[in-house]
Protein backbone atom coordinates (compact mmCIF):
# COMPACT_ATOMS: atom_id res chain seq x y z
CA UNK A 1 0.00 0.00 0.00
CA UNK A 2 1.37 3.37 -0.97
CA UNK A 3 -1.40 5.65 0.25
CA UNK A 4 -4.70 5.34 2.07
CA UNK A 5 -7.42 7.97 2.24
CA UNK A 6 -11.16 8.23 2.51
CA UNK A 7 -13.05 9.64 -0.47
CA UNK A 8 -16.66 9.63 -1.60
CA UNK A 9 -17.47 6.56 -3.76
CA UNK A 10 -18.21 8.81 -6.76
CA UNK A 11 -14.80 10.47 -6.39
CA UNK A 12 -13.11 7.06 -6.32
CA UNK A 13 -14.99 6.01 -9.48
CA UNK A 14 -14.06 9.25 -11.23
CA UNK A 15 -10.40 8.76 -10.30
CA UNK A 16 -10.54 5.20 -11.58
CA UNK A 17 -11.96 6.36 -14.93
CA UNK A 18 -9.24 9.02 -15.12
CA UNK A 19 -6.53 6.41 -14.46
CA UNK A 20 -5.46 8.01 -11.17
CA UNK A 21 -6.29 4.92 -9.12
CA UNK A 22 -6.94 1.29 -9.94
CA UNK A 23 -9.49 -1.01 -8.36
CA UNK A 24 -10.53 -4.52 -9.22
CA UNK A 25 -14.12 -5.33 -10.25
CA UNK A 26 -15.44 -6.36 -6.82
CA UNK A 27 -14.40 -3.02 -5.35
CA UNK A 28 -15.64 -1.15 -8.42
CA UNK A 29 -19.02 -2.85 -8.09
CA UNK A 30 -19.28 -1.97 -4.40
CA UNK A 31 -18.23 1.64 -5.07
CA UNK A 32 -20.76 1.90 -7.92
CA UNK A 33 -23.52 0.57 -5.71
CA UNK A 34 -22.66 3.00 -2.91
CA UNK A 35 -22.30 5.93 -5.33
CA UNK A 36 -25.86 5.29 -6.52
CA UNK A 37 -27.09 5.60 -2.93
CA UNK A 38 -24.80 8.30 -1.55
CA UNK A 39 -25.72 11.34 -3.62
CA UNK A 40 -24.31 14.71 -2.56
CA UNK A 41 -21.57 15.65 -0.13
CA UNK A 42 -23.49 14.97 3.11
CA UNK A 43 -24.85 11.60 4.18
CA UNK A 44 -28.54 11.81 5.04
CA UNK A 45 -30.44 9.55 7.45
CA UNK A 46 -32.28 8.07 4.44
CA UNK A 47 -28.98 7.23 2.72
CA UNK A 48 -27.61 5.69 5.91
CA UNK A 49 -30.76 3.55 6.20
CA UNK A 50 -30.40 2.39 2.57
CA UNK A 51 -26.77 1.38 3.15
CA UNK A 52 -27.71 -0.44 6.37
CA UNK A 53 -30.53 -2.27 4.57
CA UNK A 54 -28.21 -3.19 1.72
CA UNK A 55 -25.45 -4.45 4.01
CA UNK A 56 -27.81 -6.51 6.17
CA UNK A 57 -29.40 -8.21 3.14
CA UNK A 58 -28.09 -10.47 0.40
CA UNK A 59 -25.67 -7.81 -0.83
CA UNK A 60 -23.91 -7.79 2.55
CA UNK A 61 -23.63 -11.58 2.54
CA UNK A 62 -22.37 -11.76 -1.00
CA UNK A 63 -19.06 -13.43 -1.75
CA UNK A 64 -17.46 -11.88 -4.80
CA UNK A 65 -14.85 -14.34 -5.97
CA UNK A 66 -13.69 -13.62 -9.53
CA UNK A 67 -11.90 -16.32 -11.52
CA UNK A 68 -9.81 -15.76 -14.60
CA UNK A 69 -11.50 -17.19 -17.69
CA UNK A 70 -8.87 -16.20 -20.25
CA UNK A 71 -9.07 -13.33 -22.73
CA UNK A 72 -11.63 -12.22 -25.28
CA UNK A 73 -10.89 -11.41 -28.94
CA UNK A 74 -9.90 -7.85 -27.94
CA UNK A 75 -7.27 -8.99 -25.43
CA UNK A 76 -9.38 -8.12 -22.39
CA UNK A 77 -9.13 -10.38 -19.36
CA UNK A 78 -12.41 -12.17 -18.60
CA UNK A 79 -13.24 -12.65 -14.94
CA UNK A 80 -16.26 -14.80 -14.12
CA UNK A 81 -18.31 -14.72 -10.94
CA UNK A 82 -20.66 -17.06 -9.13
CA UNK A 83 -23.76 -17.54 -11.27
CA UNK A 84 -22.00 -17.19 -14.63
CA UNK A 85 -22.85 -19.96 -17.10
CA UNK A 86 -19.30 -21.29 -16.59
CA UNK A 87 -19.76 -21.34 -12.81
CA UNK A 88 -23.09 -23.01 -12.19
CA UNK A 89 -25.43 -20.48 -13.76
CA UNK A 90 -27.94 -21.27 -16.47
CA UNK A 91 -26.82 -21.32 -20.10
CA UNK A 92 -26.50 -17.80 -21.49
CA UNK A 93 -26.17 -16.16 -18.07
CA UNK A 94 -23.09 -13.96 -18.22
CA UNK A 95 -21.92 -12.88 -14.80
CA UNK A 96 -18.51 -11.55 -15.68
CA UNK A 97 -16.18 -8.63 -15.97
CA UNK A 98 -13.94 -7.57 -18.84
CA UNK A 99 -10.71 -5.83 -17.89
CA UNK A 100 -7.80 -4.20 -19.59
CA UNK A 101 -4.78 -5.26 -17.59
CA UNK A 102 -1.24 -3.92 -17.47
CA UNK A 103 1.39 -5.74 -15.44
CA UNK A 104 -1.28 -7.46 -13.36
CA UNK A 105 -3.09 -4.21 -12.55
CA UNK A 106 -6.55 -3.40 -13.83
CA UNK A 107 -6.53 -0.22 -15.89
CA UNK A 108 -10.29 0.14 -15.82
CA UNK A 109 -12.46 -2.64 -14.55
CA UNK A 110 -14.75 -4.11 -17.08
CA UNK A 111 -14.55 -2.18 -20.30
CA UNK A 112 -15.79 0.80 -18.32
CA UNK A 113 -16.76 -1.49 -15.50
CA UNK A 114 -20.10 -3.21 -15.74
CA UNK A 115 -21.33 -6.64 -14.86
CA UNK A 116 -23.27 -8.08 -17.75
CA UNK A 117 -25.95 -8.93 -15.20
CA UNK A 118 -25.77 -7.04 -11.89
CA UNK A 119 -25.15 -9.37 -8.99
CA UNK A 120 -28.17 -8.23 -7.01
CA UNK A 121 -30.59 -8.66 -9.93
CA UNK A 122 -30.02 -12.39 -10.33
CA UNK A 123 -29.83 -13.91 -6.89
Strands 96-102 and 105-108 come out as: antiparallel
- Span 34-47, pLDDT tens digits: 999 999 888 999 99
Could you tell me if 77 and 42 are in contact, meaning their C-beta atoms sit under 8 angstroms apart?
A: no
- Span 85-121, pLDDT tens digits: 999 889 988 888 888 777 666 655 543 334 444 333 3
Sheet (strand 77-80) strand order: 67-71, 77-80, 96-102, 105-108
Strand partners, 80: 67, 96
Which of 62, 99, 53 minimizes the C-alpha distance to 83?
Answer: 62
Taking the C-alpha atoms of residue 97 and residue 84, their distance in angstroms, rounded to an integer, is 10
Q: Which has the minimum average pLDDT: 1-5, 14-18, 31-35?
A: 1-5
Domain boundary assignment for the chain: 9-122
Could you tell me if 80 and 57 are in contact, meaning their C-beta atoms sit under 8 angstroms apart?
A: no
What Cα–Cα distance (Å) separates residue 41 from each residue in 7, 12, 16, 73? Answer: 10, 14, 19, 41
Amino acid sequence: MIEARFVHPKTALDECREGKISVMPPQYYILSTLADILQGSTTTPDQRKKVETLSSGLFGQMLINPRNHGEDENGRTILTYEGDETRGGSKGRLHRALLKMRKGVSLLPISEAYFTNHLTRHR
